A and B are shown apart, each in its own frame.
Chain A
């Protein structure tokens, strides 16, 4: 049986084991439903906020204040001599707000503290300031000058599309984080879980560790990519939904990319994402091989390392062409997410893109071999978990057979 067929068999097994189209579809529908509820609910809530709250004001109040209040409240005037009666009504009906002026003091009566108290206080403060300035003899023209804002002429050298580019870049990074999270969960099941159910010994009697490891990495990478695609579809559908309601095309963010069209950008993003997921899966597979029990292993936290580096790559957004950003976009632990971010927010030369991709590919090639080596000597360790020192000794042993694992029959 050829190595290729064995790898493909394991790859498809892992993919079919973890990727459930029905569940993904249900996920999309549920997400859309939740998004729709949230979106429509938000709009409804926002529309509610536009409705002005009612405020009853004594008719002997200064007209200027009344006009100021009318901007934020539905003002009803009430004869000042009916004040006592109205206050009694508020007490009986347990609702309503009544404002009256007594000299320089404002009196507010309400059943409970109004939600718009802050707004009301702001208006009253402003009115009070104006009244005091008038008393001090400041003319209307002077007042206008005082309240006129500073004159500012705005000229930006950075083009106005930066925000859109950042949105695209962060979206790319989020998708990568999602893929890594998915891989994180499945690698535990696929490797640590198999160690726990003790099937590994039978499997590796049939398949070389490197082929088995390659199949696992490929299969779970496929699952991760499928999840990325699923979430991308959810994002696109949500974008279409937003466009329907707001008239604003969410997809216009892609218009501001440096690459001449969306196609090459998406293609580059996919290439880096696929290779990045492969790279991180090799890393996660190596760590998962060392863990016997996820609940009691200190090495479990290492499974979070990829997330750390993906988030770190977002530093590129600050200065996409600075030295740190260039380094991050070449360094294999960050390049899978940092280079797509740079591509999205800056103009990156083709040789940098190609070079970064080649370095990442090379790093993946060696990392999968490392994962296989770690798997090979940790496979039968069902008792004590290997320490990092033992891992190092095993990896640096001249011949694997000379490594003495802490286990004997």
Chain B
């Protein structure tokens, strides 16, 4: 059974620790990624996500802990370049060179033949409506288009495992949706993806597993269904008032776990597990000046905020 698990696991990290001068960046961090996963690696700024990714790629070394990669039935400490794709959070390409030249070079460093790389690059540029700009210098492209080129450079060589750090930043909503589809498509073709992002609504459309960290420590590690089961079973109600939010009055309603003002005139109310909506809405109808009510289950964004806020070291 253990052998079978190891065969399916692509990446396993155990008890990873890393300390910078005054900051404990990682604290006994453990998680594993299986073949075919879209693994969401989430955390607020400074949580240790980028540090973890850099350790995975051996750019910096951990103080303790272990990392194991599994490819083709072999355990390796660091995969061969063709097996890995990496979209770093810190974007950068050769701005003074033609787009196609940079893409072919980056793919050829990862072992792709130049002709093959050129063909694949042109196919991707075509899909992203940038084929006619292949020979332009990168600096001539908009920030959003540069982001597209950066994305292409990380997956052009068809890696078995892609690490995408904030792949949606700098993209408009239309292109964000397109990228979601591209990532799904690559995953269907067999690419395992480790996705680090702050955009929870986009992540929850894609990921099947999630690891949430804060201050270098794992707060949750499991499947998306497990995180919803553990934290997403409570109902939330967003209420807008004409005037100031009567927070104290709302908190006195039966079934209310918490109520906080989010924006001026708006409150987010979390109901206790098992609270029936009809009696709650009857109470709410008695409140003065309600203009809008939206009821929904806790989404990943809400869970993320709750877990991080509750996390005490």
Residues of A within 8 A of B (CB): 1, 5-6, 9-10, 13, 17, 194, 197-207, 379-380, 382, 399-402, 404-409
B20, A407: Cβ atoms under 8 Å?
yes
A205, B57: Cβ atoms under 8 Å?
yes
Q: In the assembled complex, how far is the CB of residue B43 from the closest CB belonging to chain A, in whole angstroms? A: 10
Query: Nearest A residue to B108 by beta-carbon distance?
Result: A9
- Partner of B21 from A9, A204, A400, A404 at Cβ < 8 Å: A404
Q: In the assembled complex, how far is the CB of residue B79 from the closest CB belonging to chain A, in whole angstroms? A: 10
Q: In the assembled complex, how far is the CB of residue B23 from the closest CB belonging to chain A, in whole angstroms? A: 4
Q: In the assembled complex, how far is the CB of residue B27 from the closest CB belonging to chain A, in whole angstroms? A: 13
Comparing B91-99, B264-272, B274-282, the segment that makes contact with chain A is B91-99
- Partner of A1 from B22, B47, B82, B150 at Cβ < 8 Å: B82
Specify which chain B residues have a CB less than 8 angstroms from the CB of A402 in the assembled complex.
63
Specify which chain A residues have a CB less than 8 angstroms from the CB of B28 in the assembled complex.
none
Give Cα A9 to B111, complex, Å. 9
Comparing B6-14, B48-56, B129-137, B305-313, the segment that makes contact with chain A is B48-56
Query: Nearest B residue to A195 by beta-carbon distance?
Result: B92
Specify which chain A residues have a CB less than 8 angstroms from the CB of B230 in the assembled complex.
none
Specify which chain B residues have a CB less than 8 angstroms from the CB of A13 in the assembled complex.
105
A409, B25: Cβ atoms under 8 Å?
yes
19 contacts between A and B (CB under 8 A): A1-B110, A5-B111, A6-B109, A17-B97, A194-B92, A197-B93, A198-B88, A202-B88, A202-B150, A202-B154, A203-B106, A204-B59, A205-B163, A206-B106, A401-B61, A407-B20, A408-B22, A409-B20, A409-B49
Query: Nearest B residue to A13 by beta-carbon distance?
Result: B105
Which residues 130-158 of B sit at the A interface, judged by CB distance below 8 A?
150, 153-154
B54, A380: Cβ atoms under 8 Å?
yes
A201, B92: Cβ atoms under 8 Å?
yes
Q: For the complex, count residues of B whose C-beta is within 8 A of A.
A: 43
Give Cα A288 to B114, complex, Å. 29
Q: In the assembled complex, how far is the CB of residue B121 from the closest CB belonging to chain A, in whole angstroms? A: 15
Query: Nearest B residue to A200 by beta-carbon distance?
Result: B92
B91, A198: Cβ atoms under 8 Å?
yes
Specify which chain B residues have a CB less than 8 angstroms from the CB of A400 in the assembled complex.
61
- Partner of B109 from A207, A406, A407 at Cβ < 8 Å: A207
Query: Nearest A residue to B49 by beta-carbon distance?
Result: A409
Specify which chain A residues have a CB less than 8 angstroms from the CB of B63 in the assembled complex.
401-402
Specify which chain A residues have a CB less than 8 angstroms from the CB of B116 in the assembled complex.
none
- Partner of A404 from B19, B82, B87, B90 at Cβ < 8 Å: B19
Which residues 49-78 of B sit at the A interface, judged by CB distance below 8 A?
49-51, 54, 57, 59-63
Q: In the assembled complex, how far is the CB of residue B15 from the closest CB belonging to chain A, in whole angstroms? A: 15
Specify which chain A residues have a CB less than 8 angstroms from the CB of B87 in the assembled complex.
202
Give Cα A1 to B274, complex, Å. 57
Would you list the 4 A-B pairs with minimal beta carbon distance, nearest first? A401-B61, A198-B92, A1-B111, A408-B20
Give Cα A198 to B19, complex, Å. 24
Specify which chain B residues have a CB less than 8 angstroms from the CB of A6 in the assembled complex.
81, 109
Interface presence of B46 (CB below 8 A)? yes
A206, B23: Cβ atoms under 8 Å?
no
Query: Nearest A residue to B26 by beta-carbon distance?
Result: A409
Given the contacts A197-B92, A197-B93, A406 and B21 also touching, CB distance less than 8 Å: yes
A10, B20: Cβ atoms under 8 Å?
no
Q: In the assembled complex, how far is the CB of residue B95 from the closest CB belonging to chain A, in whole angstroms? A: 6
Q: In the assembled complex, how far is the CB of residue A289 from the closest CB belonging to chain B, in whole angstroms? A: 14
Give Cα A200 to B106, complex, Å. 11
Given the contacts A1-B111, A9-B109, A409 and B51 also touching, CB distance less than 8 Å: yes
Query: Nearest A residue to B63 by beta-carbon distance?
Result: A401
Query: Nearest A residue to B159 by beta-carbon distance?
Result: A206
A199, B109: Cβ atoms under 8 Å?
no
B61, A199: Cβ atoms under 8 Å?
no
Most chain B beta-carbon contacts within 10 A, residue among A200, A205, A402: A205
Interface presence of B241 (CB below 8 A)? no
Specify which chain B residues have a CB less than 8 angstroms from the CB of A204 in the assembled complex.
57, 59
